[in-house]
Chains A and B, each alone.
Chain A
Amino acid sequence: MTPVPTPNPSADARMAENELYQDIVVEHKRAPRHFGHLAAPTHQARGHNPQCGDDLQVELDVADGKLRDIGFQGQGCAICIASASMMTEALIGRDLAHAQDLQQRFRAVLTGQLEPETADLGKLVSLAGVRRYPSRIKCALLGWHALMHALAGEASTDEGTTA
Chain B
Amino acid sequence: MGDQLQLVTAANAFPVLAQQIHGQPLAYLDNAATTQVPLTVLAAMRRFEDHDRANIHRGVHTLSQRATDAFEASRDTLKRFIGADASQELVFTSGTTEALNLVAQGLSAAGHDAAVIRPGDEIIVSGLEHHANLVPWQAAARRSGATLRILLPDAQGRLQVADLKSMLNERTRVFALTACANATGECPPYAALLALAAEAGALTVLDAAQAVSHAVPDLSVLACDYMAFSGHKMYGPMGIGVLAGRRAALERLVPLRLGGDMVEWVSYTDAAYAGLPSRLEGGTPNVAGAVGMAAAAGFIEQVGCDTIDAQVTSLRAHAVAGLSVIDGIRVLATESAASAIVSFVADGVHPHDIGTLLDERGIAVRTGHHCAQPLLDHLGCGPTTRASFALYNTHDEVERLVSGVARALELLR
Contacts and interface: CB of A to CB of B under 8 A. Distances in A.
B382 interface: yes
A30 B413 CA distance: 7
Interface residues of B, number: 29
A101 interface: no
A26 B411 contact: yes
B373 interface: yes
B361 interface: yes
Nearest to A52: B368
Contacts of B357: 16-17, 21
14 contacts: A2-B19, A5-B23, A8-B23, A9-B20, A9-B24, A26-B412, A53-B368, A53-B382, A53-B383, A76-B350, A77-B352, A77-B353, A133-B356, A162-B373
B131 A52 contact: no
A134 B351 CA distance: 16
Contacts of B22: 6, 9, 12-13, 15
B386 interface: no
A13 B382 contact: no
A157 B181 CA distance: 30
A29 B370 contact: no
Given A2-B19, A3-B19, A52 B369 contact: yes
A78 B371 contact: no
A16 B23 CA distance: 13
A17 B360 contact: yes
B367 interface: yes
Interface size class of A (residues with CB under 8 A): 35 or more
Contacts of B369: 50-53, 163
B86 interface: no
A58 interface: no
Nearest to B19: A2
Contacts of A91: none
B18 interface: yes
A162 B131 contact: yes
Interface of A: 2-3, 5-6, 8-17, 20-21, 26, 29-30, 50-54, 75-80, 133, 136, 139, 162-163
Contact of B360 (A13, A26, A30, A80): A13
Nearest to A8: B23
B381 to A, nearest CB: 10
Given A52-B351, A133-B356, A163-B368, A75 B23 contact: no
A11 B413 CA distance: 22
B371 to A, nearest CB: 4
Contacts of A13: 22-24, 360-362
B138 to A, nearest CB: 13
Interface string B124-136: 0000000100000
B379 to A, nearest CB: 13
Contacts of A14: 360
Nearest to A19: B360
Contact of A16 (B351, B360, B382): B360
A76 B368 CA distance: 11
Given A76-B350, A133-B356, A2 B411 contact: no
Most buried by A among B20, B23, B362: B23
Given A5-B23, A12-B22, A78-B350, A20 B356 contact: yes
Given A2-B19, A53-B369, A78-B350, A21 B24 contact: no
A76 B352 CA distance: 9
Contacts of B371: 162-163
A78 B23 CA distance: 25
A53 B383 CA distance: 6
A136 B352 contact: yes
B353 A79 contact: yes
Nearest to A16: B360
A83 to B, nearest CB: 13
B373 A78 contact: no
B331 to A, nearest CB: 18
Interface string B344-374: 0000011111001101111000011111010
Nearest to A29: B412
Contacts of A139: 352
A126 to B, nearest CB: 15
Given A3-B20, A11-B23, A15-B360, 12 more contacts: A5-B23, A9-B23, A14-B360, A16-B357, A26-B411, A52-B351, A52-B367, A78-B349, A78-B353, A79-B352, A162-B131, A163-B370
A75 B382 contact: yes
A163 B411 CA distance: 29
A21 B368 contact: no
Contacts of A15: 22, 360
Given A76-B350, A136-B352, A51 B360 contact: no
